[in-house]
Structure 1
């Protein structure tokens, strides 16, 4: 039976790398991919790098629009059936103002994308996972949830809010058959950053980590994984 995998943020970075990785796996694994991203041009480039597009459903929209999220999930389920694996990759950091001088407009914007949007996807796909007594919810968080860095207060707030919420969800869903997984990557060299950082993790490095987390025996739960580049020392 084929698995339906929904990936947010597939237009760039980790989401794009993961979509390409999954689409290139042996066809016997039977993945149907539903991909979304805000930038239509970049999402089209992701699709151009996928050879078998007959098993791909994609739409471009902003995750701040909850109605668009709902419509996308409904359309994806109509094409491929219930979502078996949800991977929330999308995220942004649009402000580095000091913690004592909050940029309220940007803070609200980041909370919409980094906290509320992932939860809306979870809310939409979880009921059917619970009915089936199986499924995977994986959220790509950040090591900012684990270590406080100056200049990241607003980004950290959204990611940490999601982190805390998901930890409660994991306990509430214990024993249901639904896996609730969290990945905490350190610095990643993507277009998320203004300048290239080749010493950081690559998107492929993180995509490999996600792949290893989601494809385990049903009795194996890799609840949390931290992945950092060798040059990063912001840990206890």
Structure 2
């Protein structure tokens, strides 16, 4: 879907990749409905938009609030007259703990934001997207959806759920005006740990190039414009995808060896 002249909803648009996506969409001539839990983040996105800000509307809300999400499509249409795309980007990580050391509140929060937030937004906007001549749905999953990371079991499970949901939607929406893209990012400089309230230690001996969100946004939106089914963001994501295809056990062992030290002793 060509993005010029389209209206695209972006969640998590107050920082990181979501903010970079909102700004890059505006540069490409799209209008953007920016969604984020933090209004101050949305105001920062608006400030960075500069003279492109008239094409931007701000929608502070919690994507786990079903009633608020259900009212959002009409709100976006009032602001822009239509909606042609949805990028489900908002997400959080879990504390770096083993599954049995996580409290129930942390488990439920990760699933509510990452999976149910994506699900609620998709169900709210999909009827509108199906009415457009062409439209696009983008779900941001994670490299952690196919390579398990010790200390991020619930996060990985939530993103794996997003991955399979997205692939199933691609199949279900064949023959409709809606195209679907699955995004699998690796390491990015997004501030996700800070906004999740989590301290994120570094893996020992890892020399992983960290992708800047502005670069990731351009790659992602190029993929949308060519209606790509799947896009891997970052050299680490591409490398681990290949390794996992060749040897799931080998890929899992590699990550375990690099990340196991992040967990406290049993």
TM normalised by structure 1 equals 0.88
Relative distance call for 1:86 and 1:94 in structure 2 (3 A) is same
Q: Deviation at 1:133?
A: 4.9
Equivalent residue in structure 2 for 1:203, among 210, 213, 218 = 213
Q: Deviations over 1:120-162 (max 9, x none)?
A: 1111221132233521000111001111111110111111111
Q: Deviation at 1:196?
A: 9.8
RMSD of aligned residue pairs (Cα, Å): 2.2
Distance of 2:201 and 2:74 partners within structure 1 = 37
Contact 1:184-1:226 at 8 Å conserved across structures: yes
When you count helix as a share of all residues, which structure comes out higher?
2
Answer yes or no: is 1:161 the counterpart of 2:164.
Answer: no
Answer yes or no: is 1:4 the counterpart of 2:7.
Answer: yes
Partner residue, 1:128: 128
Answer yes or no: is 1:224 the counterpart of 2:230.
Answer: yes
TM normalised by structure 2 equals 0.79
Q: Which runs of 5+ in 2 are unaligned?
A: 194-198, 203-207, 244-266
Matches within 5 A, 1:115-194: 115-193=115-193, 194=199
Aligned structure 1 segments of 4 or more residues deviating by more than 4 angstroms: 194-198, 230-233
Distance of 1:128 and 1:228 partners within structure 2 = 32
Contact 2:94-2:152 at 8 Å conserved across structures: no
Partner residue, 1:18: 21
Contact 1:133-1:176 at 8 Å conserved across structures: no
Contact 1:95-1:154 at 8 Å conserved across structures: no
Contact 2:25-2:31 at 8 Å conserved across structures: no
